[in-house]
Structure formats: C-alpha cells, structure tokens
Amino acid sequence: MSEFHVLVTLAGIHFIALMSPGPDFALVVQNSTRYGRQTGIAIAFGLSIGILIHSILSLTGISYLVHSHPGLFFVLQLMGGSYLLYLGISGFKGIIQHIRFPSANQKSGADFTISSKKHAFTRGLTTNLLNPKALVFFISLMSTLVPASMSLQGKLTALFILWSLALFWFCSLAWALSTQRVQRALTRLSIYIDGVCCLLFSIIGFTIVYQAISH
C-alpha cells in the first residue's frame, strides 16, 4: 500500500472515530450548548492537542510501552476513569444547584463547569489525554496502518492529518451548536443536554475504573 493510500485510510478511520459518541464529543456538545462558541472552540483546541500528543506517543512507541506495562496502564485507567467520573458528578451537582437557585445563577452568570478559555482548553486536553480508550485506539491505528518504513515526511503528514481533522471536527461541532438559531432552540433543553452528557461521563468513567479493578 502506498503512503498516499495509507494516509487516506488513516484519515477515514480517524474521522469516523471522531464522530462516534464519547467523552470528547460529549464535552464539546455540553459546553458549546451552555457556554457558547468561544468555550467550545477552546475545548476543541485542547482535544486536538491531546490527540496530537497521543498520536506522537503511539508513533514513537511510548504508548505501547505504557499499554504493555500492567502497572502503568492500571494507573492510567484509574486516573482517566476517575477524572470522567469527576466530570459527571460535578456536572450533576451543578445541575442540581441550577435547579435549586435558577435566579442566582442567571443573575451572577455563574459558570459551574468552565470558568475561562484557559480552563476550557485544559479541560479538553485533560479529558483526551487521560482517556485510556484513546491510548489503545491510537496504538492500534498507528501499528496497523503506519509501517515503520514510512518516510519521515509521511509520518509528519499523518500527525498533521490526525490533529487537523480533530480540530476541524470539534470546532465545526462547537460552531454549529453555538449559532444564534441553534442556541435559541436549545436554550430550554440545555439542562437536559447537560444531564445526558454528565450521565455519559459517569457511565464511561465507572466502566473504565471497573475494568481496571476487575482485571
């Protein structure tokens, strides 16, 4: 298979994976819906940098070493699962606070999930980096599709494709969900969207922690 076909296949598989529901997708949907475009785009940048780091670590073999070392991978699973549980539980606490004191939240413009663009970027980066499923996915993707004999230019192009597709998709999602028309339509549903996203974080986080402990 030529390098061109490798890169096209890599891009196709990666883009399909990006569109599938998961912590990254939920994070952008939840916060773009509630806090607007700038927050969503800041999260998208964080997620794309996390994906770039995962890609580099997988390409250099570092991720494989972590995955093949039971102790290190166990720690990563616990950290990642616990972090997603934290996102879910803290989000539910914020929803309860919003329900109990709606006027106070509107008056002060309280933001119980994201406090700044820097916080949004960090949230996106941390959510992606601590996801052990992302580590396993990129190990599989790189080891299966990117041969060791691929040229340096080809490998750099692969890294650029993985990063740019992630940035494009998550920014597009944040942009689409934060247009005035969509915002007006979602205003009354925002708290339910928050609830679904927090439930997703909690389920995935619990599943990761459970799998780590039970193995």
Q: Which residue has the higher pLDDT, 53 or 105?
A: 53
CB neighbourhood size of 114 (10 A):
22
pLDDT of residue 43: 96
pLDDT, tens digit, 9 for 90 and up, residues 107-144: 333 344 566 889 999 999 999 999 999 999 999 988 88
Instruction: Write the DSSP string, the chain.
Output: --HHHHHHHHHHHHHHHHHS-SHHHHHHHHHHHHH-HHHHHHHHHHHHHHHHHHHHHHHTTHHHHHHHSHHHHHHHHHHHHHHHHHHHHHHHHHHHHHHHSHHHHHHHT--SS--SHHHHHHHHHHHHHT-HHHHHHHHHHHHHHS-TTS-HHHHHHHHHHHHHHHHHHHHHHHHHHTSHHHHHHHGGGHHHHHHHHHHHHHHHHHHHHHHHHH-
Reported pTM: 0.85
Q: Where are the domains of the chain?
A: 3-214
pLDDT, tens digit, 9 for 90 and up, residues 82-105: 999 998 998 888 888 877 776 554
pLDDT of residue 146: 87
Q: Which residue has the higher pLDDT, 62 or 189?
A: 62
Lowest mean pLDDT among 38-47, 166-175, 205-214: 205-214
pLDDT of residue 107: 37
Average pLDDT for the chain: 87
Note whether 50 and 163 are within 8 A (CB).
no
Note whether 170 and 17 are within 8 A (CB).
no
